[in-house]
Amino acid sequence: MTELLCVNDLSVAYKGMPVLKHAVFSMKEKEIVCIVGESGSGKSTLIRTILGLLPAGGRYISGDIVFQGNHLLHYTQEEWRRVRGKRMAMIFQDSGSYLNPIRKVGSQYIESIRTHFKLSKKTAYNRAVQLLSNMKLDDPDRVMNAYPCQLSGGMRQRVSIAMAMAMEPELLLADEPTSALDVITQAQVMKQLLQLRDTFGTGIIMVTHNMAVAAHMADKIGVMKDGKIVEWGNAESMIDSPKHNYTMKLLTDVPELEGKDIVRSAHP
């Protein structure tokens, strides 16, 4: 398997305060990486830096990000436009709120598919409906015909996850994509993410607060604390023999029931 993403000595600061400190890791194609760690440890900053989307006040200090041999930090706006959204797709905790409120879901979804794939409207529609029903949206035709405000927050979030999946990306960056969803729906989304990887070879970096989900999904786990990746390695060996005290603590604090429910429902 070839290298998909390499992050080297990456450091980022907000208003002079370092929040990401010398991050180093790499992942291969088709791998699933889960990033875990307490709130404020720099997980979202890491994801946003990889996407070239640091918020105002955030400043890149040092390091390199190489995506399939290309140095992302040297990308022009035009190069980013071609990569972001399609080859590198993203989902955030509140992705659903980025849907255009004045257009029906279906027209946004079909347009997004047809911007990247040469498909008829009918085929794009069918593809969208399929992905929506994979997201446990019961009446996908109704969802396609609705305005975002006519759907619940959880439904909008599932629409946006389905839209990201339609891109068949090479890398999907997901920042706590399901934390606002109920446990059964979370399990379904996790199952679909695994399927996305298996079908299209999508590599995934997912931030999660749930160590049980990480254990179930990840090939590799990265543990973050105070802006540093304090432990990085194969999921199985990290869970069997964590090296860092903080990883041990995370493993003993696993939200047992919640995690087991998610893992169990993902494998009915």
Ligand X SMILES: Nc1ncnc2c1ncn2[C@@H]1O[C@H](COP(=O)(O)OP(=O)(O)O)[C@@H](O)[C@H]1O
Binding site for Mg ion (CB under 5 A): 43-44
* Residue with token string 């794939």: 117
Which entry of Mg ion, ligand X, none binds 259, CB below 5 to 8 A by partner kind? none
Min separation Cβ 32 and ligand X, Å:
19
* Choice from 1, 3, 40, 97 touching ligand X (CB under 6 A): 40
- Where in the chain does DSSP place strands (E)? 3-14, 17-28, 32-37, 58-67, 70-71, 88-92, 171-175, 203-207, 220-225, 228-234
CA distance 4 to 66: 8
Alpha-helix runs per DSSP H in 167-218: 183-200, 211-217
The C-alpha angle with vertex 62 and arms to 56 and 67, in degrees rounded to 5, equals 90
25-33, 40-48, 72-80, 126-134 -> range binding ligand X (CB under 6 A): 40-48
CB 247 within 8 A of CB 214: no
CB 89 within 8 A of CB 167: yes
* Choice from 25, 33, 36, 42 touching ligand X (CB under 6 A): 42
CA distance 102 to 22: 43
**Measured from the CB atom, is 12 or 131 closer to ligand X?**
12
CA distance 166 to 172: 11
* Choice from 34, 41, 72, 84 touching ligand X (CB under 6 A): 41
**Measured from the CB atom, is 109 or 246 closer to ligand X?**
246
Cβ contacts of residue 69 below 8 Å, gap of 6+?
3
Min separation Cβ 52 and ligand X, Å:
15
* Choice from 8, 11, 14, 87 touching ligand X (CB under 6 A): 14
**Measured from the CB atom, is 44 or 134 closer to Mg ion?**
44
Which residues, numbered 182-201, are part of the site for ligand X (CB under 6 A)?
A: none
| Binding track, positions 54-93, relative to ligand X; x by CB under 6 A | -x-xx-----------------------------------
Binding residues (CB under 6 A) for ligand X: these are: 14, 19, 37, 39-45, 55, 57-58
